[in-house]
Copies of this chain bind each other. A is one copy, B any other.
Amino acid sequence: MARPRNTESDALILAAAAEALLQDGYDGLVVDEIARSVGVAKTTVYRRWPTKNHLVVSVVAGWQGVVDVPNTGDEADDIANDLTTIAGGMCHVLDPAPIRRLVAELAAARMRDDDLGSAVDRLWSDRRAATAAVLERGIAGGALRRDLDPEVVTDELAGAVYYRVLITGGSLDDAYARALVRTVLAGAR
């Protein structure tokens, strides 16, 4: 049986790409330089990742890892805490300027390229699913209104954070996550 050489060079390429992104940001990642530094042909990289952005998505997916669903209980305060944990995690991950830049580039690239689009969508879907799971637990246990549409509430929570990341540039920290969850739960009226 042939040795899976590709897996090995894939890992080296991903590690080099991650280092370039961390050190020099989005513009600092140049596929040809990655190939040279790892000692593989450019075509080896492009066969696995058709564009720079495909490679970036793989790196970010590795950073993100598995998104846990927090579960401290079914009381109203527990649901609020669990939502704050998710929102706080998003604020923490997305606040640094280089990450904001990455997210913006991926959001734009997602629309230029359908194939890349589905890879990018998988990046956000884990945290979205975690939010929905907490909301559904809150509805089932009576902590949240029965007629609630979890999708709209997820849009409010994640939307506010991404709006600051991509549109207003507003700061993101634990205090903001708490204020956001409090306002989403209590309502404006």
Copies in the complex: 2
Cβ proximity bits A90-129 to B, threshold 8 Å, 1 near / 0 not: 0000000100110011011011100001000100100010
A110 to B165 Cα, complex, angstroms: 12
Q: Does chain B have a CB within 8 A of A22? A: no
| B107 lies within 8 A of A166 (CB) | yes
Cβ proximity bits A128-158 to B, threshold 8 Å, 1 near / 0 not: 1000000100100001110011011101101
CB contact between A148 and one of B135, B148, B156, B183 (< 8 Å): that residue? B183
Q: Does chain B have a CB within 8 A of A180? A: yes
A100 to B76 Cα, complex, angstroms: 37
Q: Does chain B have a CB within 8 A of A3? A: no
| B162 lies within 8 A of A180 (CB) | no
Interface hits, A154-184 → B, CB 8 Å: 155-156, 158-164, 166-170, 176, 179-180, 183-184
Please list the residues of chain A having a beta carbon within 8 angstroms of any beta carbon in chain B: 76, 97, 100-101, 104-105, 107-108, 110-112, 117, 121, 124, 128, 135, 138, 143-145, 148-149, 151-153, 155-156, 158-164, 166-170, 176, 179-180, 183-189
Given contacts A104-B108, A155-B160, 20 further A-B contacts (CB under 8 A): A101-B111, A108-B108, A135-B188, A151-B170, A152-B160, A152-B180, A152-B183, A153-B188, A155-B170, A156-B156, A156-B159, A158-B167, A159-B160, A159-B161, A159-B162, A159-B163, A162-B162, A184-B187, A184-B188, A185-B188
Q: Which 7 interchain pairs have the tightest Cβ spacing?
A: A187-B187, A159-B163, A159-B159, A155-B160, A159-B160, A108-B108, A104-B108
**A-B contact list, 25 entries, CB within 8 Å:** A76-B189, A101-B112, A104-B111, A107-B108, A124-B168, A128-B168, A144-B188, A145-B188, A145-B189, A148-B188, A151-B170, A152-B160, A152-B179, A155-B160, A155-B164, A156-B156, A156-B159, A156-B160, A156-B180, A159-B164, A160-B160, A162-B162, A162-B163, A186-B187, A186-B189
